[in-house]
């Protein structure tokens, strides 16, 4: 297949990520139609050869494959519902971040309109799109994934299909971003605590990287324990973790630093200890979190 044979693709939404998606498709040689509520955002892409559609309906009609990337699923619905007739018989790939529940609702709406639907989660920042470091996860009917896999591969890096449940990509997304944003909050808090003790961020950073470097092996260990229900502690216990977390809270509050996030985590640890699991491995907390939600 030559570049001239590549199928047309439409991109709805031209924030930084939407622009990156459209740019990668143009670079690969796809005839690319773009639409954005603020039309001027398309100017750099039009200069590169993209076609600017004045309406969503016209944008949708230009391509058999339509990618949507906006702020949330409510915004997707507001954009595509008026163009539902034009979308019928085409494939909508929703690369917008939101919850698994809303992903299932979006898939149900699409099914009711005769729209083929894949849900997706972009797990790397906009500058990676089109390059080898990009990671995009997809879920929904396998035959749709296979039909458009070659086009979606031009977004770069790894493109993984996770299964037929349309909410599976969103579930991975929120779980993985839970790790990321909780971790980022911890890093910001650590720098605040260090600064209060006269330690600059630059001085702490090499040691922060070292501590962070422990996490990959711990992720694998926790995953293995959680899946088989083995919470026997080999190295450290929940009780010892509780003591350390309490010391951090005391040190931070001594400087008037907010400890809401860490106190919330410590409360879960305390529930585990109170339930008689103090001598267990930290992996036990996955069950404690789930039991609290039940």
Tell me what pLDDT residue 3 has: 46
Instruction: Decide if 138 contacts 95 (C-beta within 8 A).
Output: no
C-alpha span between 88 and 16 (Å, rounded) = 28
Residues 49-66: what's their mean pLDDT? 98
Beta bridge partner(s), residue 117: 92
Instruction: Decide if 117 contacts 140 (C-beta within 8 A).
Output: yes
Residues 78-85: what's their mean pLDDT? 97
pLDDT at residue 108 above 60?
yes
What DSSP string runs through 51-117?
A: EEPSSHHHHHHT-SEEEE-SS-HHHHHHHHGGGHHHHTTSEEEE-----HHHHHHHHHHHHHTT-EE
Going by pLDDT thresholds of 50, 70 and 90, the confidence category of residue 294 is low
- ∠ CA(184), CA(280), CA(193), 5° rounding? 30
Q: What are phi and psi of 51, to 5 degrees?
A: -100, 125
Tell me what pLDDT residue 293 has: 60
C-alpha span between 181 and 154 (Å, rounded) = 28
- CA distance to 8, 11, 18, 40, 154, per residue, from 36 (Å): 17, 9, 9, 8, 21
Lookup: tokens for 54: 């004045």
Give the containing element (helix H, strand E) for 160: strand 158-161
For the chain, domains (ranges, CATH) are: 3-164 (3.40.50.720), 171-293 (1.10.1040.10)
C-alpha span between 68 and 118 (Å, rounded) = 11
- CA distance to 9, 128, 142, 243, 272, per residue, from 138 (Å): 17, 17, 10, 41, 35
Tell me what pLDDT residue 66 has: 98
Residues 11-24: what's their mean pLDDT? 98
What pLDDT, in 10s, does the model give residues 227-259? 999 999 998 999 999 999 999 999 999 999 999
Going by pLDDT thresholds of 50, 70 and 90, the confidence category of residue 5 is confident
Tell me what pLDDT residue 136 has: 97
Top-confidence residue, 42 or 2? 42
pTM of the full structure: 0.92
pLDDT at residue 138 above 80?
yes
């Amino acid at each position: 297949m030559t570049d001239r044979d590549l199928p047309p693709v439409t991109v709805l939404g031209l924030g930084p990520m939407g622009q990156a998606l459209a740019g990668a498709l143009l670079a690969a040689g796809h005839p690319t139609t773009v639409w954005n509520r603020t039309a001027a955002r398309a100017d750099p892409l039009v200069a590169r050869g993209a076609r600017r559609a004045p309406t969503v309906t016209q944008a949708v009609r230009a391509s058999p494959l339509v990618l949507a990337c906006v702020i949330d699923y409510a915004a997707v619905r507001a954009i595509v519902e008026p163009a539902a007739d034009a979308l019928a018989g085409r494939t909508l790939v929703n690369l917008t971040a939101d919850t698994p529940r809303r992903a299932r609702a979006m898939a149900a709406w699409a099914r009711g309109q005769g729209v083929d639907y894949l849900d997706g989660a972009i797990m790397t920042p906009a500058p990676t799109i089109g390059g080898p470091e990009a990671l995009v996860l997809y879920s929904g009917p396998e035959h749709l994934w296979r039909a458009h896999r070659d086009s979606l591969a031009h977004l770069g890096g790894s493109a993984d299909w996770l299964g037929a449940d349309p909410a599976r990509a969103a579930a991975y997304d929120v779980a993985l971003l839970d790790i990321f944003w909780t971790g980022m909050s911890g890093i910001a808090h650590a720098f605040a605590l260090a600064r209060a003790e006269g330690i600059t961020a630059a001085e702490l950073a090499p040691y922060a990287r070292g501590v962070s470097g422990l996490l990959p092996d711990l992720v694998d260990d926790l995953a293995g324990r959680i899946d088989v229900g083995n919470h026997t502690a080999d190295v450290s216990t929940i009780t010892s973790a509780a003591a350390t977390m309490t010391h951090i809270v005391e040190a931070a509050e001594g400087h008037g630093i907010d400890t809401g996030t860490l106190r919330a985590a410590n409360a879960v640890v305390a529930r585990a200890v109170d339930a008689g699991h103090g001598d267990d491995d930290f992996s036990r907390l996955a069950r404690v979190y789930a039991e609290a939600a039940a």
